[in-house]
């Protein structure tokens, strides 16, 4: 039996967000055309939230998938929730509106539902997305005022370019910096961070809930284990015996258990797959409910394992992952 997959949560600005989103980043060896195919399948099987970013180099293809699914009558624009992100080389307040307009043009959209600051740290602006010096070292920008970036996002919301604004990869201190900004007009609606049973973010989740900020989880299936930035010797989340045993009871896969776990604790989940069978599998998480005992068992496998730690960013003074949370 098909169950309704368009379940939404209310955000602190009055807009709503679907609890499950489709992740669109794929490693560089995956052709961008695959992004378009996968996004169309995702919409066909019921995903109504698409998580994108300028950084993913596929805004054109994702935009095309959305347009085709609107044109063939599968969805209306207002039923689809699109998230975009401001990459760290665009941390120039007076250029942000025009950058957002550029992304909208590439996407063929006239607004984004949500726009996030991708990372709290800034990189040298105006050139490549990963600016490096002659020694191959990434060039940071350490003079950027995050509050000024936030004000530029507030202006994008007021201009109607984006409906809601939020952050990604912010720690508690960085969230507080925005929340305590004098003259704050809009609070971030969410903080998108890595979140799965091996890094369950219980402290950050509690902090976000107490401030009416939603936590959106990425790498909820244990990440795509990119060879350049994920430790290949780290344990594979979806091979965890607890997730397998629980899944067996409900006739669900470890991936479905990992997704359902987040939904039941109030976390927005972003799941990436470009494989048709697995895309279908990932949306089938609304026809079962984990018992509170099983939720506790999953809480018990937390091991503070961060797959996406990105050592090349770690020397930046605004690198978020040195604080406990």
Binding residues for ligand WDT, rule: CB under 6 A, are 25, 53, 55, 130, 229, 308, 310
Residue tagged active-site, from 56, 82, 198, 319 = 56
> Does the protein bind ligand NAP through residue 271 (CB under 6 A)?
yes
Minimum Å distance from CB 255 to ligand NAP? 3
Annotated catalytic residue 82: no
One residue of 88, 103, 191, 273 binding ligand NAP per CB under 6 A: 273
Interface size with ligand NAP, residues (CB under 6 A): 28
User: Cα-atom radius of gyration of the chain, to the nearest Å?
Assistant: 19
> By C-beta, is 96 or 243 nearer to ligand NAP?
243
Choose the contact partner of 91 out of ligand WDT, ligand NAP, none; CB within 5 to 8 A by kind. none
SS3 assignment for the chain: CCCCCCCEEECCCCCEEECEEEECCCCCCCCHHHHHHHHHHHHHHCCCEEECCHHHCCHHHHHHHHHHHHHCCCCCHHHCEEEEEECHHHCCHHHHHHHHHHHHHHHCCCCEEEEEECCCCEECCCCCCCCECCCCCECEECCCCHHHHHHHHHHHHHCCCEEEEEEECCCHHHHHHHHCCCCCCCCCCEEEEECECCECCHHHHHHHHHCCCEEEEECCCCCCCCCCCCCCCCCCHHHCHHHHHHHHHHCCCHHHHHHHHHHHCCCEEEECCCCHHHHHHHHCCCCCCCCHHHHHHHHCCCCCCCCCCCHHHCCCCCCHHHCCC
> Does the protein bind ligand NAP through residue 274 (CB under 6 A)?
yes
Minimum Å distance from CB 220 to ligand NAP? 5
> Does the protein bind ligand NAP through residue 122 (CB under 6 A)?
no
> Does the protein bind ligand NAP through residue 7 (CB under 6 A)?
no
Q: Which residue has the tokens 């980043």?
A: 25
CA distances (Å), origin 187, targets 165, 184, 283: 8, 7, 30
Choose the contact partner of 48 out of ligand NAP, ligand WDT, none; CB within 5 to 8 A by kind. none
Q: Do 30 and 4 contact (CB within 8 A), yes or no?
A: no
Choose the contact partner of 35 out of ligand WDT, ligand NAP, none; CB within 5 to 8 A by kind. none
Choose the contact partner of 282 out of ligand NAP, ligand WDT, none; CB within 5 to 8 A by kind. ligand NAP
> Does the protein bind ligand NAP through residue 223 (CB under 6 A)?
yes
Choose the contact partner of 61 out of ligand NAP, ligand WDT, none; CB within 5 to 8 A by kind. none
Minimum Å distance from CB 310 to ligand WDT? 4
Q: How far is CA 86 from the centre of its chain?
A: 12
> Does the protein bind ligand NAP through residue 24 (CB under 6 A)?
yes
> Does the protein bind ligand NAP through residue 192 (CB under 6 A)?
yes
Near ligand NAP by CB under 6 A, which window of 2-10, 107-115, 145-153, 267-275?
267-275
Q: How far is CA 138 from the centre of its chain?
A: 24
One residue of 123, 268, 270, 283 binding ligand NAP per CB under 6 A: 270
Choose the contact partner of 240 out of ligand WDT, ligand NAP, none; CB within 5 to 8 A by kind. none
Q: Which residues are catalytically annotated?
A: 56
Q: Which residues bind ligand NAP (CB under 6 A)?
A: 23-25, 51, 118, 168-169, 192, 218-224, 238, 253, 255, 270-275, 278, 281-282, 308
């Amino acid at each position: 039996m098909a169950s309704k997959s368009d379940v939404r949560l209310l955000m602190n600005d009055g807009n709503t967000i679907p609890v499950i989103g489709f992740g669109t980043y794929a490693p560089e060896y995956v052709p961008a055309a695959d992004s378009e195919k996968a996004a169309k399948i995702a919409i066909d099987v019921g995903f109504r939230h698409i998580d994108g970013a300028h950084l993913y180099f596929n805004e054109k293809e994702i935009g095309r998938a959305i347009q085709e699914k609107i044109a063939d009558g599968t969805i209306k624009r207002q039923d689809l929730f699109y998230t975009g992100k401001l990459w760290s080389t665009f941390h120039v307040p007076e250029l942000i509106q025009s950058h957002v307009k550029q992304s909208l043009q590439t996407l063929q959209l006239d607004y984004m539902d949500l726009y996030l600051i991708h990372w709290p740290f800034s990189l040298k602006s105006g050139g490549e997305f990963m600016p490096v010096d002659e020694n191959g070292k990434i060039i940071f920008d350490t003079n950027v005022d995050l509050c000024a970036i936030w004000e530029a996002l507030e202006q994008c919301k007021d201009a109607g370019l984006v409906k809601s604004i939020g952050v990604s990869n912010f720690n508690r201190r960085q969230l507080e910096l925005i929340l305590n900004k004098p003259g704050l007009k809009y609070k971030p609606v969410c903080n998108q961070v890595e979140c799965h049973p091996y890094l369950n973010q219980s402290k950050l989740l509690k902090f976000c809930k107490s401030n009416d900020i939603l936590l959106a989880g990425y790498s909820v299936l244990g990440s795509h284990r990119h060879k350049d930035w994920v430790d290949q010797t780290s344990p594979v989340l979806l091979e965890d015996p607890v997730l397998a045993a629980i899944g067996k009871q409900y006739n669900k896969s470890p991936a479905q258990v990992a997704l359902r776990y987040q939904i039941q604790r109030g976390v927005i989940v972003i799941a990436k797959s470009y494989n048709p069978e697995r895309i279908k599998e990932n949306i089938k998480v609304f026809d079962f409910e984990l018992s509170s005992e099983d939720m506790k068992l999953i809480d018990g496998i937390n091991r503070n394992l961060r797959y996406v730690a990105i050592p090349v960013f770690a020397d930046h003074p605004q690198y978020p992952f040195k604080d406990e949370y």
